[in-house]
């Protein structure tokens, strides 16, 4: 696609339920990132996929969070047993390799509210 | 590990010049980027410095000193639409991009 696409754009869920957030990166981009941003705060790194390498999961805040990337393209971030502190916007970004990989392109985010 | 420091808020007058600083600590440093984020929007790329010196793109300039682990973003001829958060971002090897906490710029008339 022309840009990074994320869905759903908004999600309200009850505490304890599982949610899945989807990211469709720019075609051909090998790197994919998930970040989380609470209101008025900076971007918190969650997970990073680069090509066929093992993902860097060092930013995942707990084992309730997981992500996968199928076929080197679409990625899904899953949050199990959601808690109120999970409420945030979840931003996906992608980039190509080499010098042009210095620029990453963000989607519009998935706004998650846990009630 | 990696860390970045940015002032949390800056206020400047329309038409003026503002400089937003960033200091960082990292190993295997490749370069420093700057991103702009308006309220409710996604971050967008502004500039990237891999070498020491000043990079200019229109009203925006970005500076890097690798020896001082320091950079800044300079905005000239400030406009109201420049009110946003500005993040410095470190690239180090194959590690994920690390964002600073951002500087919130408020442009006033």
Is residue A33 within 8 A of residue A103, CB to CB? The reply is: no
- Give the gap in angstroms from C-alpha A25 to the nearest C-alpha of chain B: 14
- Condensed to tens digits (0 to 9), the pLDDT of residues A4-33 reads 999 999 999 999 999 999 999 999 899 999
Spatial CA neighbour of B43 closest among B75, B84, B2, B92: B84
Within 10 angstroms of residue A38's Cβ, the number of other Cβ atoms is: 13
**d(C-alpha A111, C-alpha A28), whole Å:** 26
Chain B neighbors of A104, CB-CB under 8 A:
45, 97
Facing B87 at nearest CB: one of A43, A48, A105: A43
- Condensed to tens digits (0 to 9), the pLDDT of residues A101-110 reads 678 899 999 9
Chain B neighbors of A53, CB-CB under 8 A:
94
Q: Where does residue A71 fall: left (phi above 0), alpha (psi -120 to 50 degrees), or beta otherwise?
A: left
Task: Identify the closest residue of chain A to B41 by CA–CA distance.
Answer: A108
Q: Determine the average pLDDT of the residues in B73-78.
A: 98
- Condensed to tens digits (0 to 9), the pLDDT of residues B94-108 reads 677 888 899 999 999
Interface probe, candidates A9, A50, A102, A106, chain B, greatest B C-beta count within 10 A: A102
- Give the gap in angstroms from C-alpha A100 to the nearest C-alpha of chain B: 10
> Half-sphere exposure of residue B8, counting CA atoms within 13 Å on the CB side?
2
Query: What pLDDT does A53 receive?
Result: 87
Facing B48 at nearest CB: one of A102, A105, A106: A102
Query: What pLDDT does A1 receive?
Result: 52
- Condensed to tens digits (0 to 9), the pLDDT of residues B12-59 reads 999 999 999 999 998 888 899 999 999 989 999 999 999 999 999 999
Return the exposure string of A67-104: e unless at least 16 CB atoms fall within 10 Å of the residue's CB, then b: bebeeebebebebeebeeebbbbbbbbbbbeeeebbbb
**d(C-alpha A25, C-alpha B54), whole Å:** 31
- Condensed to tens digits (0 to 9), the pLDDT of residues A78-114 reads 999 999 999 999 999 999 876 556 788 999 999 999 9
SS3 B5: strand
Phi and psi for B7 in degrees, rounded to 5?
Answer: -65, 145
State the Rg of chain A over Cα.
Answer: 13
């Amino acid at each position: 696609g022309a840009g990074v696409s994320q869905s759903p754009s908004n999600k309200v869920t009850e505490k304890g339920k599982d949610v899945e957030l989807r990211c469709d990166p720019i075609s051909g981009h090998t790197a994919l990132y998930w970040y989380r941003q609470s209101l008025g705060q900076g971007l918190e790194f969650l997970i990073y996929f680069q090509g066929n390498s093992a993902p860097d999961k060092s930013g995942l805040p707990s084992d309730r969070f997981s992500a996968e990337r199928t076929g080197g393209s679409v990625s899904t971030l899953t949050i199990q047993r959601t808690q109120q502190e999970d409420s945030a916007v979840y931003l996906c970004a992608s980039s190509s390799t080499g010098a042009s990989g210095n620029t990453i392109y963000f989607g519009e985010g998935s706004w998650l509210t846990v009630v | 590990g990696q860390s970045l420091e940015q002032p949390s808020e800056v206020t400047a007058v329309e038409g003026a010049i503002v400089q937003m600083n960033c200091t960082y600590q990292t190993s295997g440093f490749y370069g420093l980027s700057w991103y702009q984020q308006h309220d409710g929007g996604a971050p967008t790329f502004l500039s990237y410095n891999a070498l020491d010196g000043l990079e200019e793109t229109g009203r925006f300039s970005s500076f890097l000193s690798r020896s001082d682990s320091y950079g800044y973003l300079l905005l000239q001829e400030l406009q109201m639409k420049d009110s946003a958060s500005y993040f410095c971002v470190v690239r180090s090897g194959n590690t994920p991009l690390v964002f600073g906490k951002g500087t919130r710029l408020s442009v006033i008339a």
